[in-house]
Structure 1
Amino acid sequence: MHRKIPFHLAPFAAALALLAASASAGTLYRDPFLQKVGPDTATVAFRLAADCTPEVRYGVGAADQAAVSQDRGKIHAVVLTGLKPGTEYTYEVSACGLRTPAKRFRTAPVPGTRNVHFITVGDFGTGGSNQRKVVAAMVKQRAELFVALGDNAYADGTEAEIQNNLFVPMEALLAEVPFYASLGNHEYVTNQGQPYLDNLYLPSNNPDGTERYYSFDWGHVHFVALDSNCAVGLASADRCTRDAQKAWLERDLAGSTQPWKIVFFHHPPWSSGEHGSQLSMRRHFGPIMEKYGVDLVLTGHDHNYERSKPMKGDGVAAPGEKGIPYLVVGGGGATLRQLPGTKPDWSVIRDNQAYGFLDVKVVDGTLTAQLLGADGSTVDRFTLEKNLPPLEPLPEGELALIVEGERGVAPHQALFRATPSLQGATVTWDFGDGGAAEGEAVDYVFALPGQYTVTATASQGAVKQTATALVQVTRAESPGENPGAPDSGTPGDETPDSGTPDGGSPSGRAMGRTTPPAAAAPRAPRPPSSPRPWPCWPPGACTGAVRKRARRPLPRA
């Protein structure tokens, strides 16, 4: 007599997930991290546990292209070229017969694009639990780039500390968000920061061709990284001099054509924290930054948060004068410290209670920044405004389309924004599942897994412009399943057919002026495992809801 033995999928899926994780761990000594990402290029760096010739597989949606490493041994930095601006790519590392789990990144937008989102913090590289909590909160912001303010590898910036206190605890962030770093005094302890620089692949557009200070553009923002250790006399003359850095900064800022200018480094020119203000940075570099209209200065060093009023020279800028707000964002993970004395008049706010980071969005002529705690709290929020000239009209027939949230887990919320060149045009949306909406900016929730082609159409009379984008939605994982695994289309799962996830009824909702889709197909998606700002739950509770929204961050799936 033969007895049927039941097959349980969950343990099998858990075993596959464990196998994938083991493959990654067995292949790599250091997980992939992103460097020098531009509109059409990106560097994927990693270290192998054994010698072999690896390749990076990448593509839009599927990783169907390959770039083979030109390096030998265990240290690799693979440059991807021919990429599309402002586009989300999937990538994975294939090495020694094994393949890492898929990751994703977004290329820089076309220069001058007036929409930039970045995160920044310093004094985090301890390898401890507070750092990891801050990292987890940063990952959720889905930022385009990460600006690090120094003291990124405590206590001495050794090779082991760089691995264990920077790359290991930050791996989830650095694998998907490009990393732009400045040097802290703790990195300088070992050979003036050279091991730290040897582990990174940063821009080197200064006369010496080093990575100690550099600049780059992202959209309509010009970023400048300075080496304040050099400026305060911690570097030997063969590594860096203050005068050479000052001369370079003046040339760099004078040559920038971007309307927003942000400078970041470690030692704060204005601080009422334990270390206080670094007067050498203020008096040598402040006048240059004021002369060329720098909008914001970001620093660390003191283990707290502080924001100054707009400053000029050695004091607060007079009414009607342009000044520079100076920020200390030093609560990334190292022990928070006491704030001595009372808050000075030039200080708007200071805090030494919350571990957290600064989340910054620059849209057109408005910069909005929030100091977000690792616990989800908002410690500070401020805006900067400037008048920008009108954008040049797009070529006739062109419709610019921005998507935030091209991939996610059902129910998945994505933001769509279309900018038509037709004046006064009406924009309508087809979300590929039968749902529709109207408006230049709309949110839409895809309730079911599938691959959707989203079409925007701008109409003015008989003239029309169209643009399309692809959105990939996977099903929510069961306990023990691999969260990164794509929907397999196995029985019980909905798979796309003719643009709809089940071959029939549409599955989503838009917040804009909408044509409500029909009722969703039978299988309700599982609730997310952690709180997410869905417009409603369960999904069927808000079918047909109408809401127009401004651009804002969405949860990382």
Structure 2
Amino acid sequence: MVGFFCLLLMLPELHSAPTVWIQPEQVHLSYTGDPTSMKVTWTTFSPAPSMVEFQKVPGVENFTECATGKATKFVDGGLQQRTMYIHRVELTRLVPGQGYVYHCGSNLGWSPKFYFVALKNGSDWSPRFSVFGDMGNENPQSLGRLQKEAQRGMYDVILHVGDFAYDMDEDNARIGDAFMRQIESVAAYVPYMTCPGNHEEKYNFSNYRNRFSMPGNTESLWYSWDIGSAHIISFSTEVYFYLKYGPDLIREQYVWLERDLQEASKPENRGQRPWLITMGHRPMYCSNNDKDDCTDHESVVRLGLPGHVFALEDLFYKYGVDLELWAHEHSYERLWPLYDYKVFNGSIEAPYTNPRAPVHIITGSAGCREMLDPFVPEPRNWSAVRIEDYGYTRMQILNKTHIYLEQVSDDQDGRIVDNIWLIKEKHGPEAWH
């Protein structure tokens, strides 16, 4: 039966605002890091209770479980100071691998029914991801295909590697509302895991920090989580470029990153989850023709502040990060295994089998109003594949030794235009030698 407290919340409120302002919208899921739980986040424009009713599927007609949470008042930084209420409810005591149907809101207004599958427990399963960045409210070309695939159950997790809506703060955050409504048909079915990009910068990333609900206590700016045989680290490249919001953030994130990598590298942890995967918005390397940071030999993301302070390439290499996922460039580029501009292929015949440096994938062509980014005419010697199509990446972590990646071209009706197997029999810095 639905809990007594939830029944109380369902009673009509006196002097409530018109229903149109308290109808739940922009529903999306995020993973908490615990396979027995999932977080549901949504928006209303007047105060309302925060409830989720849910049940296992297949099941009885009526919802059998109820969870409650709380709403945070968010005032956008624009001239109109628009106010919204971001609701967060954590569903607990889920059965890993079990399907659930749910809706959210209160007796003042409910969302449609959505469904999800709780993530499996342990390291002996093969999670499937869609990976992309730079998807806007205008020209989100890949979104229709992603919607269909997410609702068909093709993915366990979505990784959105920065840059949302273009931009969430625009038109007094109405563009952010429109974008979150658009992605609901993906993100209400599959945990939607994020990192900040440069297009989230306005008002100290306030729209990003308030609208998303990632694990940890850093307002979604950086965090890590385990899934299958991988430990995934999401971080902000933007702390290196927006020092006006506090240079201490660079140090704070860097210290956190090293501690997290140290913990993940303990033999008992790396034995269970040998894959270390990072996701950050701006790449260390790229061969695009647009004068972005990654086109500079002395890339800030790669080498840190002057004097190589808080340099990320050396940090990730030191702890044997296997795969680095990037976006920002509106194109797809796969690099050869690379460290300090030197290629360290496993072999000529099988470059991604036991490579001796991290593998970089740049996937920022999901679709936005800034269109696609061109490449320099001649590829760099460290660049393996360059594709200037709209699309996104699929990734499956098969087991402790194999990851499969493929690039989907939306321009070519879903054709797979690139794919690799990343195979590693050894993980950690010893794999580099």
Scaled to the shorter chain, the TM-score interval is 0.7 to 0.9
| Paired amino acid for 2:286 | S
C-alpha spacing 1:182/1:157, structure 2 compared with 1 (3 Å): farther
Q: Please state if 1:288 is matched with 2:300.
A: no
Of the three residues 324, 328, 336, the one matched with 1:301 is 328
Of the three residues 166, 169, 193, the one matched with 1:154 is 166
Q: Please state if 1:172 is matched with 2:185.
A: yes
| Corresponding residue for residue 255 of structure 1 | 263
| Corresponding residue for residue 434 of structure 1 | none
The SS at the match of 2:260 is helix
Aligned-pair distance for 1:157? Answer: 3.9
Q: Distance in 2 between matches of 1:315 and 1:72?
A: 48
TM-score, normalised relative to structure 1: 0.60
| Corresponding residue for residue 522 of structure 1 | none
Aligned-pair distance for 1:172? Answer: 0.4
Conserved 8 A contact 2:168-2:176: no
Deviations 1:234-293 (A, max 9, x none): 133637532332222121111112211110111111100133436122231111111111
| Corresponding residue for residue 281 of structure 2 | 266
| Corresponding residue for residue 385 of structure 2 | 349
C-alpha spacing 1:72/1:333, structure 2 compared with 1 (3 Å): closer
| Corresponding residue for residue 235 of structure 1 | 243
Aligned-pair distance for 1:49? Answer: 4.9
Conserved 8 A contact 1:127-1:164: no
Of the three residues 1, 25, 31, the one matched with 1:30 is 25
| Corresponding residue for residue 420 of structure 2 | 382
The SS at the match of 1:286 is helix
| Corresponding residue for residue 78 of structure 2 | none
Conserved 8 A contact 1:355-1:373: yes
Aligned-pair distance for 1:201? Answer: 1.1
C-alpha spacing 1:70/1:104, structure 2 compared with 1 (3 Å): same
The SS at the match of 1:202 is coil
User: RCO (CA 8 Å, sep 6+): is it higher in 1 or 2?
Assistant: 2
Listed as ranges, the matches of 1:177-216 within 5 Å are 177-188=190-201, 190-204=202-216, 209-216=218-225
Equivalent pairs: percent with the same residue? Answer: 23
C-alpha spacing 1:237/1:47, structure 2 compared with 1 (3 Å): closer
Aligned-pair distance for 1:339? Answer: 1.6
The SS at the match of 1:32 is strand
| Corresponding residue for residue 277 of structure 1 | 295
Conserved 8 A contact 1:131-1:169: no
| Paired amino acid for 1:151 | D
Q: Distance in 2 between matches of 1:240 and 1:106?
A: 39
User: RMSD across aligned C-alpha pairs, in angstroms?
Assistant: 2.5
Of the three residues 395, 398, 422, the one matched with 1:360 is 395
Greater Cα radius of gyration, structure 1 or 2: 1
Deviations 1:93-142 (A, max 9, x none): 25235443321112222132332111110010233351533533542462
Listed as ranges, the matches of 1:323-342 within 5 Å are 323-334=357-368, 335-342=371-378
| Corresponding residue for residue 16 of structure 1 | none
Q: Distance in 2 between matches of 1:377 and 1:153?
A: 25
The SS at the match of 1:104 is strand
The SS at the match of 2:244 is coil
Conserved 8 A contact 2:234-2:279: yes
| Paired amino acid for 2:49 | T
The SS at the match of 2:102 is strand
Of the three residues 190, 213, 227, the one matched with 1:218 is 227
Listed as ranges, the matches of 1:336-485 within 5 Å are 336-352=372-388, 354-364=389-399, 365-374=401-410, 375-387=413-425
Name the count of aligned residue pairs. Answer: 359
- Structure 2: state its 5+ residue gaps: 1-18, 74-84, 304-310, 348-354, 428-433
| Corresponding residue for residue 429 of structure 1 | none
Conserved 8 A contact 1:268-1:277: no
Conserved 8 A contact 1:31-1:46: yes
Q: Distance in 1 between matches of 2:242 and 2:21?
A: 40
C-alpha spacing 1:160/1:26, structure 2 compared with 1 (3 Å): closer
Of the three residues 99, 102, 105, the one matched with 2:116 is 105
The SS at the match of 1:289 is helix
The SS at the match of 2:257 is helix
Q: Distance in 2 between matches of 1:347 and 1:318?
A: 12
TM-score, normalised relative to structure 2: 0.76
- Structure 1: state its 5+ residue gaps: 1-23, 390-557
Q: Distance in 1 between matches of 2:244 and 2:215?
A: 21
The SS at the match of 1:75 is strand
Deviations 1:64-113 (A, max 9, x none): 21113444884311111111222221111252354433211122221323
Of the three residues 73, 77, 94, the one matched with 1:83 is 94
| Paired amino acid for 1:280 | V
Deviations 1:488-527 (A, max 9, x none): xxxxxxxxxxxxxxxxxxxxxxxxxxxxxxxxxxxxxxxx
Moved more, 34-43 or 257-266: 34-43
Q: Please state if 1:245 is matched with 2:257.
A: no
Aligned-pair distance for 1:221? Answer: 1.0
| Paired amino acid for 1:378 | I
